[in-house]
Amino acid sequence: MFNFRWRKKKRTRYVAPDEVFMDSHNTPRFDTHTLEGRIERPMSRGTFYMLAGLFVLIASLFLFKIGSLEIARGGELRDRSERNTLTKSAIFPTRGVIYDRRGILLAWNENDRIYKYVPGLAPVVGYTGKPNKEEIISNIALSEERIGRSGVERLSNRILRGTLGEKIEERDARGELVSFGMQVEPKDGGAVSLSIDSELNAILYEAIDKLSREKEFEGGAGVVMDVGTGEILAAASVPSFDPNIFVTKNDPQIIARYTNDPMKPFLDRVISGQYTPGSIIKPFMALAALSENIISPTKKLLSTGSIRVQNQFDPTSYTVFKDWKAHGWVDMREAIAHSSDVYFYIIGGGFKSDGGDAPGVRQEGLGIERIESYMNMFGFGESTGVELYGESLGTIPSPAWKKENFDGEEWRLGNTYHTSIGQYGFQITPIQMVRAIASIATDGNLVRPTIFKVNERDKVLAQEIVLPKEHWKVVKEGMRMSVTHGTAMRLSNEKVKVAAKTGTAELGVGKDKVNSLVVGFLPYDEPKISFVLLIEKGPRANTVGASAAMREVIDWMVLHRPEYIR
């Protein structure tokens, strides 16, 4: 057999000799750095397929990633991109300042909110604080700003706060500022002017505080008001606090000490303190009795130091109602001036003599329904309308009130007697007292008190109490007699005529503590201001009362504020 061996023919490329010689001749002129003169070898098919496959794989991965970012997480990443590049932020305005009526700064700004310490005025001016969580969520305020928390700071927060500005900033991925965008400038807060005379306020506070410390009272309150406009010239609550503790110091221990103090320095006694008025209610009882023709102003009633009332169920039993002293026969003016309890027991509840203390006397009384009605008419038991938050309404005792608070007990004559002299459950506030006294000074103008300075163009809000002019005259004469030769003689002043009424309210079951009060107006002939000053929870045996402190205030006004009293 033939043994044939097949061999694959090797392909070769014929190279002509002249090409070799030509290449050799040209080699020195080739740029070897750019591979000139090299014989190129074509890429193999396998290498081509491998590179093509690698390219397709990389392109597929790239397209998959793009799809993932755009479709699956596109919204999230767009939001993140916007947040990272554009930032909106608030520009805070400067908070407005607060002035007293004479242009003295009471609140202003340095590195923080600063308050002038005026004794007793902190509840009126108030303070600022950080917004709580609910206020932030409700867009009432931003977490970085301070808002009014009490007093005028809260009441006038919209004016004082101003208007926020806004700026837009562009920042890179590292948070670095790249450029500024649009900017809205903030509008600073407006200024607020109060009716308060801060110097007078300090004098009023110091007079109350001094007497309280010397005579062992626990504190008190005082108000001075313009009877024509209702402007509060001074409103002192004793004890008080420094509003700067909520801002610059913000010391939790100091705040806790104030909060836990049994003297309650955070209580605004002027509008929220409820006090048994005692005898300062007697001028209003007199006006009610005159208006209802219960008694003439010249009729005299006898006070022997007490009256006794026969028990309707047991004729042999009597209840005795004491006066603070025996006054003898007194008419209405004298009863006001000397503060006869028996006189006002009788015109309040009526009296029929049994032949003992006041033989042959029969006198109709107002009765509790009419008493309640007139006390409401003078603004007791209701809001005065003053702008501050937290005003108490007080209480005028009545049969319905007694049933509600004393397990359904019936009203008795003795309850009417005690209500007629401002005792029993009678509770009123100093702001109500000063407003009601102003209505006597002005013959029935029951003005709305205000803590803001009143301009000539501002409308004064008031109710008119329509009573015969001669009735107002009788009561004012009785109050003037109280200063000239009655219970308020400490207020007698050569420079200005004062009309006043004092009161002593017994407290508690044992009646071993008392409140001492004085109310009034001046000048007597052309009244400009009304006032109230009270000191609370002092020893019953004390003989120096609120009139002594008010005398110091009046003397100061005579020397330093004659425009208030002339």
Q: Is the pLDDT of residue 359 over 80?
A: no
Residues of the chain with CATH 3.90.1310.10: 87-193
Q: Is the pLDDT of residue 552 over 80?
A: yes
Per residue in 520-543, pLDDT (tens digit) is 999 999 999 999 999 998 888 777
Q: With the C-alpha atoms ordered 214, 215, 221, 227, is the resulting torsion angle positive or negative?
A: negative
Q: Is the pLDDT of residue 394 over 60?
A: yes
**Per-residue pLDDT, 332:** 98
Do the Cβ atoms of 120 and 201 come closer than 8 Å? Answer: yes
Mean of pLDDT values over 547-560? 97
User: Other C-beta atoms within 10 Å of 516: how many?
Assistant: 26
Inter-CA distances, 218 with 215, 263, 538, Å = 9, 7, 7
Q: Is the pLDDT of residue 486 over 90?
A: yes
Q: CB within 8 A of 405, min separation 6: which ones?
A: 425
Multiple choice CATH, 198-564, 3.40.710.10, 3.40.50.880, 1.20.1250.20, 3.10.20.30:
3.40.710.10
Helices 341-349, 413-420: inter-axial angle, 10-degree rounding? 130
Residue 220, strand partner residues = 238, 535
102 falls in which pLDDT band (50, 70, 90)? Answer: very high
∠ CA 103-388-449, rounded to 5° = 75
Q: Is the pLDDT of residue 500 over 60?
A: yes
Inter-CA distances, 244 with 128, 129, 150, 162, 247, Å = 9, 11, 13, 22, 5
State if pTM tops 0.85: no
**Sheet of 105-109: strands edge to edge?**
113-115, 105-109, 98-99, 192-193
Per residue in 312-324, pLDDT (tens digit) is 777 778 899 999 9
Q: What dotted CATH number matches 87-193?
A: 3.90.1310.10
φ, ψ for residue 46 (rounded to 5)?
A: -65, -45
Average pLDDT, the chain: 86
**Per-residue pLDDT, 458:** 78
**Per-residue pLDDT, 183:** 80
38 falls in which pLDDT band (50, 70, 90)? Answer: low
Residues of the chain with CATH 3.40.710.10: 198-564
What is the number of residues in the chain?
Answer: 566
Q: Is the pLDDT of residue 21 over 80?
A: no
Q: Is the pLDDT of residue 256 over 80?
A: yes
Residue 351, strand partner residues = 363
